[in-house]
Structure 1
Amino acid sequence: MTMQPAWRIVAATGVAQLLAWGSSYYLLAILARPMAASLQLPPLWVYASFSAALLVAAALGPWVGARIDRHGGRRVLLASNGLFALALLVLALAQDRWTLLAGWLLMGAAMPMGLYDAAFSTMVGFYGAKARRAIVGITLIAGFASTVGWPLTAAIEAHAGWRAACLSWAMLHVTVGAGIHAWLLPSAAAATAHAGGSASAPAEAAGAPPARTLWTLAVVFTASGFVFASMATHLPRVLELSGCTPAVAVAAASLVGVAQVIGRVAEAGWLSRLHPLWTARLSSVLHPLGATLLGLFGAPLAFVFAALHGAGVGIMTIVKGTLPLALFGPAGFGRRAGVLEAPARVAQATAPMVFGVLLDRWGDAALWLSVAAGAIAVAGVFSLRSRG
């Protein structure tokens, strides 16, 4: 297969990522309670099953990344569509808690094969050190996953039930997703020829990255992952406990998605002229700044907090691809991305329950835990230095 134009590859991969996120991470918010009610389970069982899926994803991430480093990402992404579809089929046919758990565990196995880590690693395989623009482009499109996925899932669930929603997403994976990865992405050989052989340079060529830098990045991404998962699950409640009415809390929380896209557009524009380390520093300070303002002044600054938090999340998503690339180069990117993301996925698996318990006990004072986690990320990213 010949190498497609870069814009076509990025657009196609972005659409496939939108599908992958909409049918995995963003499935739970709409279907968790209908699943639980239908199977006569406590909703906590469904949420715990999703947490278990994230732990599976964390365990498999480094292995998947190493596969992409060696063989390219096209086959891995294509296989993810089959595994996502199987997971959704098992969920659709679930008759008890154990088959439901099995479906979510299969979903966890598909996540490192089909979400951002795999897509970013594939772009690095295609474009090497010049993959930053491709990574940003993918996130700009996939950033609308909740905007598309939530209404679509909700509409199907309302008219035909949650099982039909799972089946519909499964069909999209074996048609749209598989079609994109089979026909619109080049093979590893075509990518290597296009890049003059540099894209697939062995990991050993660049030498091992400094252990301190790698561990610091892992801490930064883990702290950021904890904040992201905590706010994604509990943001409206946090805002209500800070003094907002339910209507205002929902309105402010809805600003997060808009702010994420604005942050990513900024990264594609004027921020693209800066070293990724500077965009990492900017993104890391936005949540703790906004949360501190909300903690000190309460409801009047709810919209400011939501905007700062959303922009920080939007930019940090890109940073997870561009900063390791800038610090370590393209060699061994896939496995390194899996290693860096593994502890972050563990944090994301535990954060909703931990933060929820603290909200019950501490009220809005639990927000200061997210400030502390954000401060750890800030300290870590400001301690890093660029190569050369």
Structure 2
Amino acid sequence: MSQPTGQAAPDARRNALILGVAQTLAWAVTYYLPAVVAPVVVADLGADPALVYGAFSVALLISGLAAPRVGRVIERRGGRPVLLASAGLLALGLLLLGLLPGLWGWALGWVVLGFGMSMGLYEAAFATLGVLYGRAARRPITMVTLLAGFASTVGWPMSAALVPLLGWRGTCLAYAAMLLLVVLPLYSLLPRAAAAAEAAPGTGPEPADPVLPAAWVRRSFLLLAVFFTLRAIISATLSVHLIAVLGGLGLSVTAAVAAAALMGPAQVGGRLLEFTLGRAAHPLTAARLGGALLPAGALLLVLAGPVAAVPFVLLYGASNGIMTISRGALPLALFGPRGYPVLMGKLALPILLAQAGAPMLTAPLVADQPAMAVLGLAGLLALAALACLLPLRRTP
């Protein structure tokens, strides 16, 4: 008997918990690693900071370029073998960071990590759940993002504690061991796609899903890709420059850091809202509401001035939290489970390319323009992104 709409089957909750814990650790020791480790690497190697941070950008570029192929593999074989391979590849990349000398070793490690990230972060996890549960994957996807929303909360303090004890190389080696001893065994507990479909009838992909009009799919996918890419440009830029921009509003360093620190809880809060109040709404409605929060926060900031810095961060964070869920749930709701892993890979390509290039390309703008103008421009860009969702309609 199938599960009621909006509820997750018991095995779906179990697998979402497994993926949520594994994703938290995978994000913590890869994507969130440079924030703490890169400054130490710059000092230790005497390297140009642009080259050290550039290696991370190259990893994101590689991840984006590899994502469509990863999606095709998940569609053919299921997500379990891909995620297992990702844990090994991420561990290898961290081993190279810890063992190879010089800047070339740092760069080579991030090249390997780029391939591992394409196989082992959100898009691969979402695609895995899509293969396992079809249209019923929305709730498990939300559960995964709720847990993994604490990746920076776990990763940054953990790295800050380990680097003084083990050095940056020892920290990378410890993280490689964590992936092999914790994340890899967690992924081994996931079911194979065929087994899951048999074990949970009514929750797997629907074989009778209609073939959608090709023109509608192309148009809808393009609008969706532009929406998520524009949002990725904003989030990638502000993830690097938010504290500086808040300081430019007139906040002290302490106040700017305190306000920026609210991002994490606000993101989790947005996901909780989607998980509870938003579960009865169509994912397109939830995405539109989430997409509207950032322009609303920017408008409030422009009207009220620096006093609205904290409300802006809260609205921006909640919007980002909902967007993370929408990246997995909205394509599934619009296009169905047929071809979903491939679609997620194609969607990830422009998003990851934007994340890789935006901080560097927007740095001159942030440096030259007043902080209020930068945040107002972010609001206008978010409004343009939201406009891409308005013509979208539910599956015809």
Q: Is the Cα–Cα contact under 8 Å of residues 134 and 206 in structure 2 kept in the other structure?
A: no
1:295 Cα deviation (Å)? 3.5
1:171 counterpart residue number: 177
1:236 corresponds to which of 236, 243, 256: 243
1:253-289: CA deviations, max 9, x gaps? Answer: 0111011111111111010100001111011111122
Q: Is the Cα–Cα contact under 8 Å of residues 156 and 165 in structure 1 kept in the other structure?
A: yes
Segment of structure 1 superposing worse, 358-367 or 289-298: 289-298
1:333-357: CA deviations, max 9, x gaps? Answer: 1110111111011111111112222
1:369 counterpart residue number: 377
1:95 Cα deviation (Å)? 1.7
Equivalent position SS for 1:131: helix
1:49 counterpart residue number: 55
1:210-359 alignment, distance < 5 Å: 210-359=217-366
1:5 counterpart residue number: 11
1:296 Cα deviation (Å)? 4.0
Q: Normalising by structure 1, report the TM-score.
A: 0.95
Q: Is the Cα–Cα contact under 8 Å of residues 67 and 118 in structure 2 kept in the other structure?
A: yes
**What percent identity do the matched residue pairs reach?**
45
2:100 counterpart residue number: 94
2:390 corresponds to which of 356, 379, 382: 382
1:111 counterpart residue number: 117
2:242 and 2:301 map into 1 onto residues whose CA distance is 12
Segment of structure 1 superposing worse, 140-149 or 186-195: 186-195
1:197 Cα deviation (Å)? 9.0
1:342 and 1:54 map into 2 onto residues whose CA distance is 10
Count, aligned residues: 385
| AA of the residue aligned to 1:369 | L
Is 1:187 the counterpart of 2:192 in the alignment?
Answer: yes
Q: Is the Cα–Cα contact under 8 Å of residues 73 and 122 in structure 1 kept in the other structure?
A: yes
1:288-316: CA deviations, max 9, x gaps? Answer: 22123224433201100100000000000
Q: Is the Cα–Cα contact under 8 Å of residues 202 and 332 in structure 1 kept in the other structure?
A: no
Q: Is the Cα–Cα contact under 8 Å of residues 79 and 124 in structure 2 kept in the other structure?
A: yes
1:85 and 1:27 map into 2 onto residues whose CA distance is 13
1:188 and 1:131 map into 2 onto residues whose CA distance is 13
2:4 counterpart residue number: none
| AA of the residue aligned to 1:104 | W
2:129 counterpart residue number: 123
| AA of the residue aligned to 1:85 | A
Runs of 4+ in 1 over 6 A off after TM superposition: 201-205
1:147 and 1:366 map into 2 onto residues whose CA distance is 27
Cα 1:218–1:202 change in 2 (3 A) is farther
| AA of the residue aligned to 2:395 | R
Cα 1:314–1:136 change in 2 (3 A) is same
| AA of the residue aligned to 2:379 | V
1:59 corresponds to which of 60, 65, 68: 65
Equivalent position SS for 1:210: helix
2:171 and 2:340 map into 1 onto residues whose CA distance is 35
Equivalent position SS for 2:261: helix
1:85 counterpart residue number: 91
1:25 and 1:124 map into 2 onto residues whose CA distance is 23
1:203 Cα deviation (Å)? 11
1:50 and 1:342 map into 2 onto residues whose CA distance is 16
Cα 1:331–1:198 change in 2 (3 A) is farther
1:259 and 1:71 map into 2 onto residues whose CA distance is 36
Cα 1:323–1:127 change in 2 (3 A) is same
1:202 Cα deviation (Å)? 7.8
1:206 counterpart residue number: 211
Aligned-pair RMSD on alpha carbons? 1.8
Equivalent position SS for 2:337: coil
1:369 Cα deviation (Å)? 3.0
2:395 and 2:197 map into 1 onto residues whose CA distance is 25
| AA of the residue aligned to 2:333 | A
Q: Is the Cα–Cα contact under 8 Å of residues 63 and 118 in structure 2 kept in the other structure?
A: yes
2:310 and 2:272 map into 1 onto residues whose CA distance is 20
Q: Is the Cα–Cα contact under 8 Å of residues 145 and 325 in structure 2 kept in the other structure?
A: yes
1:203 and 1:304 map into 2 onto residues whose CA distance is 46
2:39 counterpart residue number: 33
Q: Is the Cα–Cα contact under 8 Å of residues 125 and 199 in structure 1 kept in the other structure?
A: yes
Unaligned ranges ≥5, structure 1: none
Equivalent position SS for 1:206: coil
1:194 Cα deviation (Å)? 2.5
1:233 and 1:248 map into 2 onto residues whose CA distance is 17
1:41-80: CA deviations, max 9, x gaps? Answer: 1221121111111110111101101111111000000000
Q: Normalising by structure 2, report the TM-score.
A: 0.93
Is 1:68 the counterpart of 2:50 in the alignment?
Answer: no
1:205 and 1:93 map into 2 onto residues whose CA distance is 52
